[in-house]
Structure 1
Amino acid sequence: MITQSGYRLSRRAILGGGLGTALLSRFPARAATLKGTTVTFASWGGAYQDAEKVCYCEPFAAATGARVVQDGPMNVAKFRAMVEGGVPDWDVADITIDFLYAGAPDGLFEPIDRSIVDTSRIDPKFVHEFGIGCIVWSYNLGYNTKAYAGPNGAPKSWADLFDLKRFPGKRTLGDNVVATLEVALLADGVAPERLYPLDVDRALKKLDTIKAQTIFWSTNSQSQQLFVDGEVNLGLILNGRAYDASKKGAPIAISWDQSIQSVDYLVVPRGRPIAAAARN
Structure 2
Amino acid sequence: MRRYYLKNRKTQSKSHPKKRKAKLIIALIIFFLSLFLLFLLSKSKITKDRIIIASPNNSEGEIIIIDPSTKTINIIQIPKDTQTQAARQKGTWRMGSLWKLGEQEKYNGSFFSDSLILTFQLPIDYWAEEGFSKLANNPLSLTGFIFDRTKSNINFIDRIKLSLIIFSIPKNNVTTINLKDTDLLKSTKLIDGENGYVVLDKIPQLLTRLFFSQFISEENLKINIINSSNSSRPMTLIASVVQILGAKVNSFQNSPETTSAGCLVRSLGQSQTLNSILQIFSCKHEAKKPEGNFDLEINLGSEFLNQF
Q: Same fold (TM over 0.5)?
A: no
Identify the TM-score tier after normalising by the shorter chain: under 0.3
As a proportion of its length, which structure holds more helix? 2
Specify the structure having the higher radius of gyration (Cα).
2
With CA pairs under 8 Å and 6+ residues apart, which has the higher RCO, 1 or 2? Answer: 1
